[in-house]
A and B are shown apart, each in its own frame.
Chain A
């Protein structure tokens, strides 16, 4: 073994295919279809929620296209952090890395809280005294089980995600087919529920405000890039899995909106905890109720699972480059996973899952994600300028450049304003936090960065340098 250690090295295992990428991206997001998106109905009514759904769909299509081009070329763990490191610079990379870890760890905590709530709901429905169940062991179990799975290997982790995500997605399709009137009489009542003052209760300002929660339909699809160092064929699998993922979500989001807005008045739908499950209950079918209940549970677990995977890869990549202590850059020799990064993030997720209110946790996740999306247009414009199409091979070239970048920037600006309307204090606090840590990185941490080893892509010199 000693001999082997001096001559060999250990890295992440390249074992994933396009289906795993799809499962990672859609798995993180699909929970947003099961719950959360409907708060956009509360902000502006059902039509506003549909417009927010499609505007956010455009935003995320731009994200997916831009991400696919850059990450099929910068195929390494860390995703957008590694992209920023190569294309923009160290300070941007440090910030983007933190956005990623915060966005995914907070989302993981929110999913674990939701899992505890769902178990409590099932217990109450089965006759257990309401409110007497201790949710904590179930919250902790969700995090510990998924951390253990991630620790043991990426192939099993994302195959598990593939199975439970496919079941959760199928549940949405089955609910739509059962209620749409194709096979039986439809219980949907769009005309009655969406006419008169219910059409646009807060006018166009409501549409703008709805954008905040419109992100939930797709938030996290960009996480596919974190698997770049573990896919067998990054140039093919990453664009394919990511773009198929965003199409899946656009379909699931629209079907979800269609069924829920046809069954529930906007005043109720806008504050429902589990709208798809409620829709299944209102359909009157026990089969649909059980299927959508399982779908809700699976979507929650798939999201938390993908978040552990992505947050640990970003943390690991930063450790490997010494942006953080190099201790975090270790790979398990047998399981080939970033095991120390996975372990380190477990107590952080537990603290937020057990000690913070869910709306605050989710808002910090959304804000970190939004800051990351704002970085992307800058990233792709610089990428195309420094390394034009003919200078390096790309697995995917996104069309109509720079239009998607400008559209993405505009939509991000609009969403920042929408978030500011509802959570201005958190937005300011978050930006202040990133300014403080940026100063810490610039004046202290950067001296430890492994500067010579951080640019790994075999590219020519950037144009103009």
Chain B
């Protein structure tokens, strides 16, 4: 066993922790908020606003 063998174990452990964080937060988020709210993003909102302001100024 040298340093690199320990680093292999550390890499497995760190990968597991990052994955665990993602999965726990994913489950928590999906159970806290409604599906309609989570998927409420709409494309082009800023563009519509900018164009509207442009026309008002014009």
* A residues adjacent to B (C-beta < 8 A): 1, 5, 8-12, 14, 75-78, 82, 123, 126-128, 133-134, 137-138, 140-141, 144-145, 147-148, 151, 229, 234, 317, 320-321, 326-327, 329-334, 339-340, 343, 346, 393, 453, 456-458
Q: Which residues of B are in contact with A by a Cβ distance under 8 Å?
A: 2-4, 8-9, 11-12, 14-15, 18-19, 21-22, 25-26, 29, 32-48, 51-52, 54
Query: In the bound complex, how far is the Cα of B12 from the Cα of A402, in angstroms?
Result: 52
Q: A148-B18, A343-B26 are in contact. Are A456 and B46 (CB under 8 A)?
A: no
A145 touches B14 (CB 8 A): yes
Which chain B positions have C-beta within 8 A of A326? 39
CB pair A128–B4 under 8 Å, yes or no, is yes
User: Do A5 and B43 touch across chains, with their CB atoms under 8 A apart?
Assistant: no
* Distance in angstroms between the alpha carbons of A343 and B35 in the assembled complex: 17
**Candidates B14, B26, B29, B40; contact of A9 at CB < 8 Å:** B40
Tell me which residues across on chain B come within 8 A of A11, comparing CB atoms: 40-42, 45
Bound complex: CA of A96 vs CA of B48, how far in Å? 24
In the complex, what's the smallest C-beta–C-beta distance from A347 to chain B, in angstroms?
10
Contact of A456 among B2, B9, B34, B47 (CB under 8 A): B47
B29 and A339 form a contact (CB under 8 A)? yes
Name which residue of chain B comes closest to A336, CB basis. B41
A380 to B49, CA, bound (A): 25
CB pair B15–A141 under 8 Å, yes or no, is yes
Residues of A within 8 A of B29 (CB): 332-334, 339
Pick from A82, A148, A321, A456: contact of B22, CB below 8 A: A148
Interface pair A151/B25, CB less than 8 Å apart: yes
Q: Are B43 and A76 in contact (CB under 8 A)?
A: yes
| Interchain Cβ contacts under 8 Å between A and B, 8 examples | A5-B33, A133-B8, A147-B18, A148-B22, A317-B43, A334-B29, A453-B42, A458-B47
Residue in A75, A127, A333 whose CB lies within 8 Å of B38: A333
Decide if B42 touches A456 in the complex (CB within 8 Å).
Answer: yes
CB neighbours of A138 from chain B (8 A): 8, 11
Contact pick for A320, options B19, B39, B47, B52, CB 8 Å? B39
Residues of A within 8 A of B4 (CB): 123, 126, 128, 133
Pick the contact of A14: B3, B35, B37, B46 (CB < 8 A): B46
Q: Tell me, in angstroms, the Cα distance from A165 to B36 when the chains sit together.
A: 38
Bound-complex Cα distance A151 to B35 (A)? 18
The interface residues of chain B lying within 8 Å CB-to-CB of A457 are 44, 47
Asked if A10 and B2 sit within 8 Å, CB to CB, the answer is no
- Shortest 5 CB-CB distances between A and B: which pairs? A456-B44, A9-B40, A137-B11, A144-B18, A330-B38
- State in angstroms the CA–CA spacing of A321 and B43 once bound together: 9
Query: In the complex, A128→B41 CA distance in Å?
Result: 50
